[in-house]
Structure 1
Amino acid sequence: MRLGVLDVGSNTVHLLVVDAHRGGHPTPMSSTKATLRLSENIDDDGNLTVSGADRLVETAGEFASIAATSGCGELMAFATSAVRDAGNSEEVLARVRNEAGVNLDVLSGVDEARLTFLAVRRWYGWSAGRILNVDIGGGSLELTFGGDEDPDLAYSLQLGAGRLTRDWFREDPPGKRRIAALRDWLDAELAEPTKHLRHAGDPDLSVATSKTFRTLARLTGAAPSSAGIRVRRTLTASGLRQLIAFISRMTTSDRAELEGVSSDRSQQLVAGALVAEASMRALGVETLEICPWALREGLILRKLDTEMGGELVVASK
């Protein structure tokens, strides 16, 4: 069965085409991305701007056509933080449905966290024991913990890299006092949810998902994407602190010249690194394993489970 997964995030719109079969490993066939930065197209009233909605409608229609020509039997389309939090989300969703012919499902933050956790569990398997997962998006931060496929605890916090860049950083590069203030604010915001996560017990495996974490790991010495998805990659707290000291003094254009940093991510890199650092500090984690599967894979796996009678799908190492 060939599936198309259309992911409308805060930074990018991503179409993933996969071949998925009962009891099998979902195999990526193609990947198409467009950078829309929807989180930066929110007006003072909290609404997605007309120009942002226009680009979303156009991109959704274009990607739906790509999915059709790729032979997808179904297109699973969903939106996360930027559309979810927009005051005019219903109007935007109606435009996408009527003008692009795409029905976008809006995931709640907790659903986003739980589906990502499912993907992480399937990647590492039951032998991983209790898993703690951290995921940084453009608009939100998801934290999950548990020993089963559905986490015991799941939090979605409005601490995404794009959101914090927009709200906190006016200078390029950001000033030292502003960075210090954001660090203190993040510590306060994370205190309550991480208290519950730490009281739930020690994880057997601490994991990170998302493009932000993959980029941070690459900048601290992890293998490049060309080495393949099954190469073990990690991010350490000490390496992250050293990286922040380096990139926080650079301009956006300078960060875009770093290996593994795309131009569309360079602006949000400092805020993303600070969220990662604060999360690891609050959770008492020194090392995070970087998981290549995340939300899109979680949606595919859930569909296989619920609609195709799917058996347990675990990534083969």
Structure 2
Amino acid sequence: MRLGVLDVGSNTVHLVAVDARVGGRPTPMSDWKTSLRLVEHLDDDGAITDKGKKKLVAAVAEAAELADKLNCTELLAFATSAIRSASNGDEVLAHVAKHTGVELEVLSGEEEARLTFLAVRRWYGWSAGRITNLDIGGGSLELSTGSDEHPDLALSLDLGAGRLTHQWFDADPPERKRVNALRDYIDAELTEPARQFAQFGEPGVAVGTSKTFRTLARLTGAAPSSAGPYVKRRLTAPGLRQLIAFISRMTAADRAELEGISSDRSHQIVAGALVAEASMRALGIEELEICPWALREGVILRRIDKGLA
């Protein structure tokens, strides 16, 4: 059964096509995405603007057309933080459905954390013991921990790299006082989650998922994506602190010249790095393993688990 998985995130609209089978590995046979930066298309009331809706409709329509050309028998279409938190989210969903025929399922923050955790657990297996996972998206940060396939604790915070960049930084490079103020804000937002996580003890494996973590690991010396998914990649707290001191003084254009970071991500990587560093510090994590599977794989695995016709 060929599944199309359409992920409408805060940064991109991303379509993968997978030949799914029970017991099979959810490896994409086709992968397409386009930049969206939906969190940058919010007005002062938190509503997605007409320009944002127009860009979203165009991207979803293109993805749906491609899914049809790829002979996908089912399209799993979902949206995350940007639409979830938009004040006109329901209106935007109706608008997209009317103009594209695609009905997006809006995942709650907890669902997003749980599905990502499922993918991570399947990647590492039972021998990993307790897993704690961190995932930084464009609009939100998801945190989860557990010893089974379903986490004991799954949280979502509005600490996405794109959202914080849009809200906090108005200069390029960002002003030092704004960087420090954002760091204090993130620390405050993580105080209660850190207390909750502390109740479960130290994990056997601490994991980072998402493009932000992969980029940060690459910028601190991890293998490039061309080396394949099975190469172990890690991100350490000391390496991350050194990286922040370096990239926070650079313009987005200069950061885009660094090996391992795209121009689409260079403007928000400082905020993403601050969230990563603060999260690791709050949870007492000195090193993260970078997992190649994340939310999309979790969505696929959930669908396979329900049975395929």
TM-score range, shorter chain: over 0.9
Please name the residue that 2:142 is paired with.
142
Unpaired stretches in structure 1, ≥5 consecutive residues: 310-317
2:251 paired with 1:251: yes
Distance 1:168 1:288 in 2: 26
TM-score by length of 1: 0.96
Please name the residue that 1:32 is paired with.
32
2:162 paired with 1:162: yes
Q: How far apart are 1:300 and its partner, in Å?
A: 0.2
Q: How far apart are 1:15 and its partner, in Å?
A: 0.4
Q: How far apart are 1:185 and its partner, in Å?
A: 1.4
Please name the residue that 1:315 is paired with.
none
TM-score by length of 2: 0.99
Distance 2:305 2:296 in 1: 14
2:22 and 2:307 in contact (8 A); partners too: no
CA deviations over 1:106-138 (Å, ceiling 9, x no partner):
000000000000000000000100000000000
Please name the residue that 2:113 is paired with.
113
Please name the residue that 1:41 is paired with.
41
2:293 paired with 1:293: yes
Query: What does 1:154-193 align with in structure 2 at a 5 Å threshold?
Result: 154-193=154-193
Q: How far apart are 1:27 and its partner, in Å?
A: 2.3
Please name the residue that 1:312 is paired with.
none
Q: How far apart are 1:214 and its partner, in Å?
A: 0.1
Distance 2:267 2:27 in 1: 32
The amino acid across from 2:46 in the alignment is: G
Distance 1:51 1:20 in 2: 36
* Deviation beyond 4 Å, 4+ runs, structure 1: none
Please name the residue that 2:95 is paired with.
95
Distance 1:307 1:95 in 2: 31
The amino acid across from 1:160 in the alignment is: G
Distance 1:158 1:57 in 2: 24
Q: How far apart are 1:284 and its partner, in Å?
A: 0.6
2:15 paired with 1:3: no
Q: How far apart are 1:307 and its partner, in Å?
A: 3.0
The amino acid across from 1:196 in the alignment is: Q
Distance 1:38 1:108 in 2: 17
Which stretch of structure 1 is more off in the superposition, 253-262 or 271-280? 253-262
The amino acid across from 1:2 in the alignment is: R
Unpaired stretches in structure 2, ≥5 consecutive residues: none
CA RMSD of aligned residues (A): 0.9
CA deviations over 1:166-218 (Å, ceiling 9, x no partner):
11111111111111111111111101111110121110000000000000000
Which stretch of structure 1 is more off in the superposition, 203-212 or 163-172? 163-172
Distance 2:71 2:27 in 1: 14
Q: How far apart are 1:220 and its partner, in Å?
A: 0.3
- The alignment covers a number of residue pairs equal to 309
Distance 2:282 2:114 in 1: 21
Distance 1:148 1:184 in 2: 33
2:228 paired with 1:222: no
